[in-house]
Amino acid sequence: MRLGTDSREVSTERLQILATGWVPQQSASVNGPLQPLSAFHLARNRFFETEAAVGIDKRGHPETVGVRPVRKFRKRPGLPYDDIETIGRVCFTDLFIGQNRRIASHQLPNYFGDMNVGQWRSPVPMAFLFMAFVAPFTLNRVSQFRPPPPPPLNSVAYLREYEEVKARGDANAHPNSETDVARFWSGNVGAQFNGAMRQTANAQGLSVGDSARMFALANIAAADTAMAVWESKYFYNFWRPITAIQEGENDGIARTEGNVTWAPLLGTPPYPDYVSGANGFTGVFTGMLELFFGTDQMNFSVINFNPLLIQTERFYTRFSEAAEEVVDARILLGIHFRTADVEARRLGNRIAHWTFQKFLRPVPGSE
C-alpha cells in the first residue's frame, strides 16, 4: 500500500505501528509504544520543515504573517532503518522541532486574560497557549476555520445558555440521572476515541493498511483541531460559566441572576470557554469516521475506566450520537456554554472534511 503521493512502499510491520500506535511484540529491537504520528511521517516521507514571518500581536504574543516550506525531510545517512524504534524517535523529533521552529525564538509571555465583563481571567497562566501559535499540519493557517463569535452578553441566546449551565452544571445539582454521562466524558477524549477506533477497525475487519490510514487521518486532523481550538480560545477570550455566574450581579445585564457561591461539577480548566476542546476532538474523530466509512450508522462503544462511573462502557449506533452526547456532557460538568460545544463540534467536522479530501488519498492500484 502507498499513501498519498509517496512512492516508497511501507512494510506491513511499520503500517501495524501506525494502525495501532504500538510496536509489534515480535520486534526485538523495540521496547515500548511509538507515537502514531511518527509512523505517519515515516510512511509518507513528505514532512516539510517550515519557517515563518512573525509579528507581535497586541498581547505581546507572536503573530504569523506567512509560513512556507523550506526543505523536505530526508533520510539521514547512517540511520539504522531496520530499527523501528529509532526511526520513530527520529521522525517524531524532527516533526516536533519543525512544527515548533517558528516560536522557538519567541518566549510566549504568560497570559492571564483580563478583568473586563465577558472576558476570561485566571490566577494561573493559560495552559497550552503554545498550541495557538504552532504551524498546523494540514490547514493553510491555524485560524482557517475560526468559529464565529460567541453570543453577545445581552442576547437571548446567551441568557438561555447562562441559565442552562447554571442549573444543569451546578455541583449541588449532582448526583442525578445525568451525572454518569457527564463524568464519562470528563477525561481524555482523544484517548477514548482512539480506543473506539481500534475496536471499530477490528469489528469491521479492516486491513492493516486501511487501519493505518484511518488512524493517521483522524489523529493528524485532531492535532490541527487542537491548534484551531486554542487559537479560538485565545482570540475570543470568552469567560467560563463559573466566572459569568459568580459575576452575574456585576455584568450589567439585568436578566442574569448571579450566585457568588456557584461551582461546577468539574473543576474549571485554566483556559477560556470558547470553543470546547473536548467537543473539537469529538467533532473531528466522529466526522472523520463518518467520512472514512461513508456512513454515520455504526455500532461501536467507548470506554472510560473512571472508578466513579456506574457505566464504564457506552454503546452507540451512530457516530453523531456520541458527538451529541459530548455536547450535553460538558454543560453538565458546568464548564462550557452550549455554543462553545456546538461550534467546537462544527470546527472539528470542518477540519475532518478538509483533511480527508486533501491528504492521505489512496494511490489507485496500490492495494
User: What are the tens digits of pLDDT across the range 188-225?
Assistant: 999 999 999 999 999 999 998 899 999 999 999 999 99
Which band of pLDDT confidence, cut at 50, 70 and 90, is reported for residue 49? Answer: very low
Q: What is the 3-state secondary structure (H, E, C) of the chain?
A: CCECCCCCCCCHHHHHHHHHCCCCCCCCCCCCCCCHHHHHHHHHCCCEEEEEEEEECCCCCEEEEEEEEEEECCCCCCCCCCCHHHHHHHHHHHHHHHHHHHHCCCCCCCCCECCCCCECECCCCCCCHHHHHCCCCCCCCCCCCCCCCCCCCCCHHHHHHHHHHHHHCEHHHCCCCCHHHHHHCCCCHHHHHHHHHHHHHHHCCCCHHHHHHHHHHHHHHHHHHHHHHHHHHHHHCECCHHHHHHCCCCCCCCCCCCCCCCCECCCCCCCCCCCCHHHHHHHHHHHHHHHHHCCCEEEEEEECCCCCCCCCEEEEEEHHHHHHHHHHHHHHCCCCCHHHHHHHHHHHHHHHHHHHHHCCCECCCCC
Cell 470546547 found at: 276
CA distance 344 to 261: 28
The predicted model scores a pTM of: 0.79
State the pLDDT at residue 108. Answer: 85
The mean pLDDT of the chain is 81
Domains and CATH numbers, the chain: 1-109 (no CATH), 111-367 (1.10.606.20)
Which band of pLDDT confidence, cut at 50, 70 and 90, is reported for residue 62? Answer: low
Across the range 326-331, mean pLDDT stands at: 98
Cell 462544527 found at: 346
148, pLDDT greater than 50: yes
Q: Which residues contact 279 (CB under 8 A, 6 or more apart)?
A: 323, 326, 327, 330, 336, 340, 341, 342, 344, 345, 348
Q: Are 347 and 283 in contact (CB under 8 A)?
A: yes
State the pLDDT at residue 154. Answer: 95
Q: Dihedral sign, CA of 91, 134, 280, 217?
A: negative
State the pLDDT at residue 50. Answer: 34
**Closest to 5 measured CA to CA, from 365, 362, 300:** 362
State the pLDDT at residue 21. Answer: 38
Across the range 163-172, mean pLDDT stands at: 98
State the pLDDT at residue 69. Answer: 37
State the pLDDT at residue 316. Answer: 98
Alpha carbon distances (Å) from 159 to 145, 251, 283, 292: 26, 12, 25, 38
40, pLDDT greater than 90: no
99, pLDDT greater than 60: no
Cell 504520528 found at: 37
185, pLDDT greater than 90: yes
Which band of pLDDT confidence, cut at 50, 70 and 90, is reported for residue 18? Answer: very low
How many CB atoms are located within 10 Å of the residue 32 CB?
7
State the pLDDT at residue 338. Answer: 98
Which band of pLDDT confidence, cut at 50, 70 and 90, is reported for residue 363? Answer: confident
Across the range 329-346, mean pLDDT stands at: 98
CA distance 217 to 316: 22
CA distance 81 to 139: 30
Across the range 324-351, mean pLDDT stands at: 98
State the pLDDT at residue 361. Answer: 87
Q: Minimum mean pLDDT among 25-29, 87-91, 175-179: which range?
A: 25-29
**Closest to 44 measured CA to CA, from 98, 91, 6:** 6
Cell 486532523 found at: 221
Across the range 41-48, mean pLDDT stands at: 34
Which band of pLDDT confidence, cut at 50, 70 and 90, is reported for residue 278? Answer: very high
Which band of pLDDT confidence, cut at 50, 70 and 90, is reported for residue 31? Answer: very low
The percent of residues above 90 in pLDDT, for the chain, comes to: 67
CA distance 332 to 1: 45
75, pLDDT greater than 70: no
State the pLDDT at residue 183. Answer: 97
CA distance 7 to 207: 20
